[in-house]
Amino acid sequence: MTRQQRRARRESVNAAAASEAQASETVFLVLRRMRAPLIVLITIFAVSVLGLTLIPGVDGQGRPFRMGFFDAFYVMSYTATTIGFGEIPYPFTYNQRMWVTISIYLTVIGWAYAIGSLLALLQDRSFRSARALQRFRRTVDRLAEPFVLIAGYGRAGEVLGHALDALGRRFVVLDVDPDRVDAVDLDAFHADVPGLAADAREPGRLAIAGLGHPRCEAVVALTDDEEVNLSVVMTANLLQPDVQVIARATSRAMAERMAAFGSPGVINPFDRFGDHLRLALRSPAAYQLMSWLESGPGAALPERTRPPRQGRWVVCGYGRLGREITADLRAEGLEVTVVEPHPGASEEPDLVVGDGVEPEVLARTRLADAVGFVAGTDNDTTNLSLVAAARRVNGSLFVAARQNRPASAPLFAAMDIDALLVPTEVIAHEVYAQVATPLLWRFLRELQGQDDDWAAGIVDRLLDLCGHRLQALWKVRLTPEEAPALSRWLGSGEARLGDLLRDPETREDPLHAVALLVLRNGEAFLAPDDDFVLSAGDEVLLAGRPSARRALSTVLFVDSALEYVVSGRRVPESWIWRKLSRTPAEEPVSTTRS
C-alpha cells in the first residue's frame, strides 16, 4: 500500500470517528423525544378548536351564531394556558360550555404531558451524558495551546496532571469511571481541564478527546487495564502516527506488543524501580537529583538514600517486582536471597520456599548478617509486617518496600522506609519527565552516566538557588524568533553563558537560575559552566526561580538589556534618545538594529 493510500484510509477512519461524535447531538435527542408530546398537544388543540366552531351558539340578540376559527382559536388559547378571559364574543350556551369544560381538561393533560416529558428528558441519563459529551467536545475543539491527552485518571494520572498543571501545561482527561472525571472538575487546577467519562478503547472517544486535534502533542495511556493501554497505543499510532505516545505496562510481553506500534514510550514501574535502585546503589546523589527533577515544580528535595553496596540482600515476594530487583541487584554484584511461597519452576541459586510472614521462614534467610531487605509483595499489610519483623531481627537493615494502595501512605511514612516504591508515582514521574520537555528527559538519561560528586554538586547549586523546593523548569531556544536580541551576540563567538545569566537591573548579581543542559545539534552538554560559549540554535534547559525566568526573557528580547548585562553599558532604547545622547561613537557589540 502506498503512503497516499494509507493516508486516505486514515482520513476515512477519522471521518468515521467524527461522525460517531455527532451521533449524540442534543438537539436531535430533544426533538426525537418530544415528538409524541407535541403531536398529542397539536391534536388536542385541533379537536377543541374544531369543536368550538361546530357547536352552535347564540349572539346578543338570541340569533343563531357560529364561532369562526379565529374566535375559537382565541378562546382555546387562553383556556388552554389557564388564563381564562371569559366567554367571548357572546356568552356561551350550555352546549358550548360543556365542550369548553372537556377542552380545559384535555388541554391541561396535554400540557402536563408535554412539560413532564421535557423535564423527564432533562433528568434523563443519556440526555445528560449527551450534553456533557457535547460540552466536552466543544472545550477540546477550542483548545488553542498544546495539550496532553491522558487516558486513565487514576492515582498516576492525578500526580501527572498536577505536575503538568504546575508547569503551565494543558491536558485532557479520559476515564471509564465517571467519579474520577468528577474529581477532575472538583480538583484545583490553574487551567480548565476537560474530562470525559468514556471507554478509551473506542477510537471515536479518543478522537473526541483530542487525538487528531492539531494541538495534541502526546497521548498517555495510564489505565489499570493493560489491554486498554495497548488499544490506546494502537489507535494513536494508526490514526495519528506523529503524536508521542507513552503507555504503562507491567509485563515484558505487553511492552513487546506495544512496541509493535510505532515506538511508544513504555513505562514498566517495576523495571524502572529496579533501575532506580541500581542508580541509587551506584550514585546516591544522581538518584536524588533525578527523583527531585522528576517530581515536578514545587517538590521538596527528597532525602539522599545510601543503599549498602556490599553484602547480602533479602527479597520477599518473587513476583514481577521481585524478579526485576533480584536481577538488578545481582547485576550489581550483590548476593540475593529470595523468599517466595510459590517459586514455580524457576531455578534460583539462593531460594527460601515459604511465606515470609512466618517467623521460621524469615529465620532461614539469616537476616542477622544481611544488609538490605525488600518487602515486595502485592499486599500492603504483608509488606508492613515483613518490614517490622525484619527490623526486629536486624535493626541496621536498609529497607525497601512496595506500597500498593494510596490509602496506605501514612502507614508506610510512619514506618520510615528507606526506599519506597509506589508504582503509580514511579509511572507519573516518568511520564512527566518524558512529556514535560524533551530536554529534561535527555538530561535525566545523561545523568545516569555521571559520577556521584558531579550530581551532588548540581544538587547543591540547585539548593543554593531555589531552596528546598524545586521552582520553575523551562527551556530557551536561542533562535531569532525566540531570542531576537541575541542573534548578533551569538555570532560573535564570545557569547558566554555566564554573561547571559545576569540580572538585567544590576549586572553584578547573577540570575537565580542554573543551566542544566545545552543541546546543540543533538549533542548534549551537561551542566555547562559560566565560560561555556553559546551559539545560535542552542536549546538550553534552565532551572530556577520564576523571577529569573522573567528577567531572562527580558534579556532575550530587549537589545539594551542584553547590551547592559554583557558589557555594563546603558544604551538608550529609542532612536531619538540615541541621537540626543550621542552615545554610540562605535557600534554596540550586540545590537541587531544599527
Partner 1 sequence: MNLEKVVFGFFVVLAATLNFGFFIGDIDNPDLHNPYELFAAVVVNLIATVLKFGDRTQIGAVHLATSLVADLQLIAASLFYGYAIYVSSAGLTASWTASVVSLSAGALLANVVSVVLLVVETVSFHRG
Which string of DSSP letters, residue by residue, matches 403-464? --SGGGHHHHHHHT-SEEE-HHHHHHHHHHHHHH-HHHHHHHHHHTTS-HHHHHHHHHHHHH
Q: Is 53 in the site for partner 1 (CB under 8 A)?
A: yes
Task: Give, as ranges, the residues between 248 and 287 that touch partner 1 (CB under 8 A).
Answer: none
Other Cβ atoms closer than 10 A to 212: 19
The answer to whether the CB of 494 falls within 8 A of the CB of 526 is no
Based on CB atoms, which residue is closest to partner 1, 89 or 406?
Answer: 89
Q: Is 126 in the site for partner 1 (CB under 8 A)?
A: no
Q: Is 68 in the site for partner 1 (CB under 8 A)?
A: yes
Q: Is 80 in the site for partner 1 (CB under 8 A)?
A: no
The answer to whether the CB of 353 falls within 8 A of the CB of 338 is no
Q: Given candidates 17, 49, 211, 371, which one binds partner 1 under the rule CB under 8 A?
A: 49
**Interface region with partner 1, contact rule CB under 8 A, candidates 8-16, 68-76, 286-294, 477-485:** 68-76
Question: What is the C-alpha separation between 589 and 463, in angstroms, rounded?
Answer: 35
Task: Give, as ranges, the residues between 454 and 513 that touch partner 1 (CB under 8 A).
Answer: none
Helix (H, G, I), strand (E, B), or coil: what is residue 288? Answer: helix
Peptide bond into 214 cis (omega under 30): no
The answer to whether the CB of 193 falls within 8 A of the CB of 172 is yes
Least separation, in Å, of the C-beta of 28 and partner 1? 5
Gyration radius from the chain CA atoms: 36
Q: Given candidates 6, 9, 32, 570, which one binds partner 1 under the rule CB under 8 A?
A: 32
Q: Is 105 in the site for partner 1 (CB under 8 A)?
A: no
Bridge partners of 90, per DSSP, are: none
Least separation, in Å, of the C-beta of 33 and partner 1? 8
- Among 449, 594, 451, residue whose Cα is nearest residue 524: 449
**Interface region with partner 1, contact rule CB under 8 A, candidates 36-44, 181-189, 220-228, 394-402:** 36-44
Q: Given candidates 6, 8, 12, 28, which one binds partner 1 under the rule CB under 8 A?
A: 28
Least separation, in Å, of the C-beta of 16 and partner 1? 16
Least separation, in Å, of the C-beta of 8 and partner 1? 23
Q: Given candidates 20, 21, 33, 304, which one binds partner 1 under the rule CB under 8 A?
A: 33
Q: Is 29 in the site for partner 1 (CB under 8 A)?
A: yes
Least separation, in Å, of the C-beta of 45 and partner 1? 8
Least separation, in Å, of the C-beta of 32 and partner 1? 3
Q: Enumerate residues 6+ apart whose C-beta is below 8 A from 212.
A: 14, 17, 239, 240
Task: Give, as ranges, the residues between 524 and 543 that touch partner 1 (CB under 8 A).
Answer: none
Q: Is 39 in the site for partner 1 (CB under 8 A)?
A: yes
Q: Given candidates 15, 31, 413, 463, which one binds partner 1 under the rule CB under 8 A?
A: 31
Based on CB atoms, which residue is closest to partner 1, 99 or 441?
Answer: 99
Based on CB atoms, which residue is closest to partner 1, 35 or 306?
Answer: 35
Q: Is 408 in the site for partner 1 (CB under 8 A)?
A: no
Helix (H, G, I), strand (E, B), or coil: what is residue 349? Answer: coil
- Nine-digit cell string for 548: 529569573
H/E run at residue 242: none
Least separation, in Å, of the C-beta of 43 and partner 1? 7
Question: What is the C-alpha separation between 17 and 195, in angstroms, rounded?
Answer: 18
Number of residues interacting with partner 1: please give it, by CB under 8 A: 20
Question: What is the C-alpha separation between 462 and 544, in angstroms, rounded?
Answer: 8
Q: For 495-499, which contacts have Cβ atoms below 8 Å and span 24 or more sequence positions?
A: 495/533, 495/534, 495/535, 496/530, 496/531, 496/532, 496/533, 496/534, 497/528, 497/529, 497/530, 497/531, 497/532, 497/533, 497/534, 498/529, 498/530, 498/531, 498/532, 499/565, 499/566
Based on CB atoms, which residue is closest to partner 1, 39 or 112?
Answer: 39
Q: Is 50 in the site for partner 1 (CB under 8 A)?
A: yes
Least separation, in Å, of the C-beta of 429 and partner 1? 46
Based on CB atoms, which residue is closest to partner 1, 53 or 385?
Answer: 53
The answer to whether the CB of 168 falls within 8 A of the CB of 189 is no
Q: Is 379 in the site for partner 1 (CB under 8 A)?
A: no
Based on CB atoms, which residue is closest to partner 1, 56 or 68?
Answer: 68
Q: Is 42 in the site for partner 1 (CB under 8 A)?
A: yes
Q: Which residue has the cell 560573535?
A: 492
Q: Is 120 in the site for partner 1 (CB under 8 A)?
A: no
- How far CA 357 is from CA of 178, 341, 368, 387, in Å, comes to 39, 10, 16, 10
Q: Which residues bind partner 1 (CB under 8 A)?
A: 25, 28-29, 31-35, 38-39, 42-43, 45-46, 49-50, 53, 68-70
